[in-house]
Amino acid sequence: MEEQTFTIQNEAGEAVTCRVVFTFDAEERSYVLFTMDGDDSGQLSALRYVLNDAGEVSDFEDIETDEEWAMVEEVMNTLVDEFSQDQQNFITVTNAEGDDVEYQILHRFQHPETNKDYLFYGDLDENGIVTEVFASAYVAGAQGEVIDLLPIESNDEWAFVETVLQMLQGQN
């Protein structure tokens, strides 16, 4: 899908490129949720937009009432919650060919003595059946998301990971 952008003027009168995150219609009006280039905070902003007779965006308008802002904030919060939950269930790994591949996280667990975090992740076919399973240690973010994958380095670590896998498969 092609990334959608538009340009607005900031408070200093400078042109700023904005990246569309989501658009939606509510109460016979159209809204765009967006981030601004150069703003690394990940903060979402919102504007109401107006379509011309050809169905193209012709103008942006500020959201003016508290009720309208409350409705837009509810949509934003719902999107953020859904995105955060989805991100906790999938990771993207760069393979040996340099391609980004998305994997589903199958199981997370922690070593009881070292408190090191591990996960099993895998490929799913079109029927949702796991075709290949991988294991890795990982660094968890504040929301439980995977920040970085780490190698499993020692034989003791591998033995622990294999024991957990066997328990999950009902072999232990």
* 83-126 pLDDT, tens digit each: 545 555 888 888 888 888 888 888 889 998 888 999 999 887 77
- Where are the alpha helices (H) located in 8-154, listed in sequence order? 66-89
The pLDDT, as a whole number, for residue 112 is 87
What's the pTM? 0.49
The pLDDT, as a whole number, for residue 90 is 80
The pLDDT, as a whole number, for residue 88 is 59
DSSP H/E element including 123: strand 117-124
Q: Region 34-55: what's the mean pLDDT?
A: 81
- Check if the beta carbon of residue 17 is closer than 8 Å to that of residue 5: yes
